[in-house]
């Protein structure tokens, strides 16, 4: 059975990660997750992408709301409001317990990776969920109103202000973890999930050493596939399309593919974008055209199989 490494941000990435988990042997999937959108709330370290992947792979995610836990309750949030705490970033009661737990351990000196692996195991996840780095990396965006922390822009301002520039504070000081290096080098397939290429995959690829490890794996014969989060010129979810536009890049699957030149062997795009396949192949990638919109576990697993087949065939 193939050992697979996936690179993922939040919701879109978590969907394909779940598809991959459904089709590989238990424990053979490692998911490297963006931590650039981590931020402190109520004095606690909150890791939105890490937890979206965690809750999705644990089968605990609220699929209707798109974030957080199914069946979540909000008693603590109401009390935070009464105490005058800002409440625009909503934390459910069970979610809060995780942030308290993780914050305590990280503050006590444990590596974020250690805590993430332990928490995933406790929630019954067989896959390895790996933060992209143990050191804090913080994505900020420059808007017409100035620089903003990522969650201030994404959640508080509902990602409405145009993004003119992206900064990844701390990325140069971050180090590739031994867990990620080992997983990438040992991988039989590496999959870049259909996450925002600028603020989900971008921070992961900005960690020094990750590109080198992927390159080493490719030289050993491992193929890297990326799945486009842009379908028919629009992001399936989130602001990736408007970000590409305001940053002067092409808002299409081809625009995404251009960001991955020299890194990926296979580019997976939706049937809606079939006409772009020749242009993608001219970038030096094999283009795979398939049904890429994931609406249920069956379509998640089907896309995962297409991606893995392209890497392993």
Interface with a second copy, residue 112, by CB under 8 A:
no
Interface with a second copy, residue 111, by CB under 8 A:
no
- Are the CB atoms for 58 and 170 separated by under 8 Å? no
Interface with a second copy, residue 47, by CB under 8 A:
no
* The one segment of 94-102, 136-144, 257-265, 269-277 that binds a second copy by CB under 8 A: 94-102
* Spatial distance between the Cα atoms of 252 and 193, rounded to a whole number of angstroms: 16
Interface with a second copy, residue 1, by CB under 8 A:
no
Interface with a second copy, residue 76, by CB under 8 A:
yes
Residue among 98, 198, 214, 276 that touches a second copy (CB under 8 A): 98
Angstrom distances, CA of residue 125 to CA of 56, 129, 213:
10, 9, 25
* The one segment of 48-56, 88-96, 209-217, 270-278 that binds a second copy by CB under 8 A: 88-96
Q: Facing residues of 41 across strands?
A: 44
* Token pair of 17 as six digits: 């990660």
Interface with a second copy, residue 122, by CB under 8 A:
yes
Helix (H, G, I), strand (E, B) or coil at 143: strand
Interface with a second copy, residue 211, by CB under 8 A:
no
* Token pair of 63 as six digits: 């699929």
Nearest approach, Cβ of residue 135 and a second copy (Å)? 21
Residue among 28, 38, 51, 72 that touches a second copy (CB under 8 A): 72
Output 44 or 266, the one with its CB closest to a second copy. 44
E-only strand ranges, 15-55: 29-33, 39-41, 44-46
- Are the CB atoms for 242 and 162 separated by under 8 Å? yes
Burial of 172 (0-12, 13-18, 19+ CB in 10 A): exposed
Binding residues for a second copy, per CB under 8 A?
42-44, 72-73, 75-80, 82-85, 92-94, 96-98, 100-101, 103-104, 107-108, 118-119, 122-123
């Amino acid at each position: 059975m193939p050992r697979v490494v996936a690179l993922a941000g939040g919701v879109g990435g978590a969907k394909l990660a779940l598809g991959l988990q459904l089709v590989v042997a238990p424990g053979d999937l490692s998911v490297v997750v963006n931590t650039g959108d981590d931020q402190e709330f109520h004095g606690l370290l909150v890791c939105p992408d890490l937890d979206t992947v965690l809750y999705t792979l644990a089968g605990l995610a609220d699929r209707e709301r798109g974030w957080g836990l199914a069946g979540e309750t909000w008693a603590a949030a109401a009390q935070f409001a009464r105490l005058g705490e800002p409440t625009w970033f909503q934390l459910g009661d069970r979610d809060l317990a995780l942030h308290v737990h993780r914050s305590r351990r990280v503050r006590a000196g444990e590596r974020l990776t250690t805590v993430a692996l332990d928490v995933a195991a406790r929630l019954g996840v067989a896959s390895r969920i790996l933060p992209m780095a143990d050191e804090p990396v913080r994505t900020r965006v420059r808007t017409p109103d100035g620089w903003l922390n990522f969650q201030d822009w994404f959640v508080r301002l509902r990602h409405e202000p145009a993004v003119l520039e992206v900064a990844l504070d701390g990325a140069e000081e971050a180090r590739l973890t031994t867990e990620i290096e080992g997983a990438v080098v040992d991988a039989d397939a590496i999959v870049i999930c259909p996450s925002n290429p600028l603020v989900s995959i971008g921070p992961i690829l900005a960690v020094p050493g990750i590109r080198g490890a992927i390159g080493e794996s490719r030289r050993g014969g491992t193929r890297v596939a990326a799945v486009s989060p842009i379908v028919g010129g629009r992001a399936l979810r989130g602001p990736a399309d408007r970000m590409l536009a305001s940053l002067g890049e092409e808002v299409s699957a081809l625009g995404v593919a251009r960001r991955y030149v020299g890194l990926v062997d296979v580019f997976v795009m939706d049937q809606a974008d079939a006409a772009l396949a020749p242009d993608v192949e001219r970038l030096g990638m094999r283009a795979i055209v398939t049904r890429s919109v994931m609406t249920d576990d069956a379509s998640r697993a089907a896309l995962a199989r297409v991606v893995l087949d392209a890497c392993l065939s």
